[in-house]
Each structure stands twice: as C-alpha cells, then as structure tokens.
Amino acid sequence: MNLSFFDQFSSPYLMGMPLALLSILFPTLLFPSPSTRWINNRLVTLQSWLIHLITKQLMTPLDKKGHKWALILTSLMMLLLTINLLGLLPYTFTPTTQLSMNMALAFPLWLATLLTGLRNQPTTSLGHLLPEGTPTPLIPALIMIETTSLLIRPLALGVRLTANLTAGHLLIQLISTATVTLLPIMPAISTLTMLVLLLLTILEVAVAMIQAYVFVLLLSLYLQENI
C-alpha cells in the first residue's frame, strides 16, 4: 500500500477504535509522582525544577489576581511540551498537529480570559476595542478591526501551533526519504543529507519546546489584559 506524506497526521485506529485520546493521555503517565521525602531522586528533582522555572516565567507578567491560573497554565505547558517532544520519535502520532485539538485547547481558555475581563472590569475590557484619542470618523472602522482581531486570537493560537509542527514533521520526512533514496546511488550526497537531517531534528526539538511556550505565554498575556 502506497502511503503519502500526510498519512502520518491521520488519527491512528486499533480494531476500529481511535487512539487519539490515548496518545493525548499517555504522556501524563510518564511524569514521576512527587513524594513527601526531603531528598528525591534526580528525575523528580529535575521535574520540580522545570515546573518551578515554567511557573515563574509564566507568572512574572501577571499580578496576584492572575496567580490563580498558575496550575492550569503550568499543566498545559507541561502537556504540550511532552506531546510535542514525544511526537518527534519515530512511528509516533503527534496530537498537536491536529487543528481540532489545538482549537479545543485555545478557544475555551481564550474565552475564559475574555469572560473574566468582562465580569471583573467590563469598562476596561471594552475600552480595548477603541484606542484613546481616535478621530470620530474612524471610530466604527476601528471598533470592527479591533473586534475582528480579538475574535481571531484563538484561531491564531491553534493555527500557529499546528502549522509549525506540521511543517517540521513534513520536512523531516522529506529529507529522511531523500537520504534513504540517495544512499545506494550517491552515498556522499546521502551523507550530507543525513547531516542536514540531524541539524533539522535538533531544530525541531527547539521548535517543539518554543511553540509550547509561546502558546501558553500568549494565553497568559491575554489574561493580563483582562485582570
């Protein structure tokens, strides 16, 4: 059976049952459970240090009202980071390459930040739609533009994460296919292509971490506007 380059993004099935939910929940099982001991092993210590670092980076721009969101933002960051990195392994499925999953994460959280602002400070939240000092003839146009830019924020979050991960996976598959194809014909060119593949893989590891951080950081910035 001939497979296309885009078959890697199709949801896996086993005996007619989709495994997408399993691929989302499985990374959470890899985290070691924290203990009450004073001295833990290196893995738990590294996990605690990473969670503390992520929480500190995300909560720095927020005031004390936004610190209530520390648990959900840090958990989302760890989930996206784990899924993105595990998706770079061979013969694995990356759920974050699906726009439906990314939108399911982005839209409710964006809506929660918006409703928080409308409940706590409705005047300030609505004031973002109209910059101060705007000429009267431009008020209707600017309100429409600002409203549109506000409504496409969750779409931008989901599309950004999906597009970056999808492009990276496609590039890795294209270059790896070229490496295997050129190996019996031109071994020297195949070796150079393999070097490019190695560098691209390192780049994709960085992209997987950066995109997870950017996704959660933008949500925290949206939250800062509304508290």
Confidence at 2, pLDDT banded by 50, 70, 90: very low
Got the DSSP string for 3-23? Answer: --GGGGGSPPEETTEE-HHHH
Check whether 7 has a pLDDT greater than 70.
no
Residue 204 pLDDT grade (very low, low, confident, very high; cuts 50, 70, 90):
very high
Give the alpha-carbon dihedral of 65, 70, 73, 77, to 10 degrees: 150
pLDDT digits (tens, 9 = 90+) for 156-196: 999 999 999 998 888 888 898 888 888 888 888 888 999 99
- pLDDT confidence of residue 198: 92
Rounded to whole angstroms, how far apart are CA atoms 92 and 99?
Answer: 17
Can you give the residue ranges of every domain in the chain?
7-225
This prediction's pTM = 0.83
Lowest mean pLDDT of 91-95, 111-115, 187-191, name the range. Answer: 91-95
pLDDT at 24 over 80: no
Residue 20 in contact with residue 98, Cβ under 8 Å?
yes
- For the packed helices 42-59 and 70-86, what is the interaxial angle rounded to 10 degrees? 120
The per-residue pLDDT for 1 is 39
Mean pLDDT of 85-110: 88
Residue 34 confidence (pLDDT) above 70: no
Beta bridge partners of 207: none
What is the predicted pLDDT for the residue at 95? 86
The token pair that represents 125 in the structure block: 């939240």
3-state secondary structure of 131: coil
Provide the mean pLDDT of the chain.
Answer: 84
25: how many CB neighbours lie within 10 A of its CB? Answer: 11
Q: How many Å apart are CA 71 and CA 127, to the nearest integer?
A: 29
Cβ–Cβ under 8 Å, residues 103 and 154: yes
Tell me if 126 sits within 8 A of 132, measured CB to CB.
no
